[in-house]
Amino acid sequence: MVHKEPEDKASSQVNKLDEPQAFQQALRYLERKPRSTEEVKRKLKEKGYNEETILAVVPKLRELNFINDAHFSKIWAEYRILSQKKGRKWVQYELQQKGISKEHILEAVGSIETEDEFRGTMEWAAGRWANMKGTLLERKRKTAALLLRRGHTASLVNRILKELNSTLVDGDS
């Protein structure tokens, strides 16, 4: 189903008829999991709805609180950082790709307690550390590279390496 830009009044009336259908399509897309405004716009465009229809549907979704970028970004950041042990940089990039504003990104990522992030990441890194082969220096290098690739900050990586070195090296000997 391809919708073209309106050329006359008849086309404009067709767009009005598309709005309920586009609204329902957006609700089906949102029922599986929360999405950003930009993700919903992309999906509707992918389904063939024109810009006018999309711009009419999205504010209704916001008004009814089906779309809320601030809430979405907070939930996303908490899940990715605390449950999946991704780093702040990784999560910032993901949210940016989802069309979230810098303000919402900084607020969402900033709402995560550094200590909570450290404890979760430390536990995750300790599991990886225990299964690594090689000298102490090689294990530190591998662990640091792994954590940096996951988007963790250098300061958090250094803190984790110090902790691993002081607690786990004693147990390895």
pLDDT tens-digit profile, the chain (173 residues): 444 444 444 344 445 568 999 999 999 999 999 999 999 999 999 999 999 999 999 999 999 999 999 999 999 999 999 999 999 999 999 999 999 999 999 999 999 999 999 999 999 999 999 899 999 899 999 999 999 999 999 999 999 999 998 875 555 54
Q: Are residues 125 and 156 in the same domain?
A: yes
Q: Are residues 155 and 137 in the same domain?
A: yes
H and E: helices and strands count for the chain = 9, 0
Q: Are residues 92 and 58 in the same domain?
A: no
In-domain check, residue 2: no
CA 165 vs. chain centroid, Å, equals: 31
Domain count, the chain: 3
Q: Are residues 37 and 15 in the same domain?
A: yes
Extract the tokens encoding 154: 């250098």
For 8, residues 6+ apart whose C-beta sits below 8 A from its C-beta are none
pTM (two decimals): 0.80
In-domain check, residue 1: no
- With 0-12 / 13-18 / 19 or more C-beta atoms within 10 angstroms meaning exposed / middle / buried, residue 173 is exposed
Range of the domain at 168: 114-172
Q: Are residues 40 and 84 in the same domain?
A: no
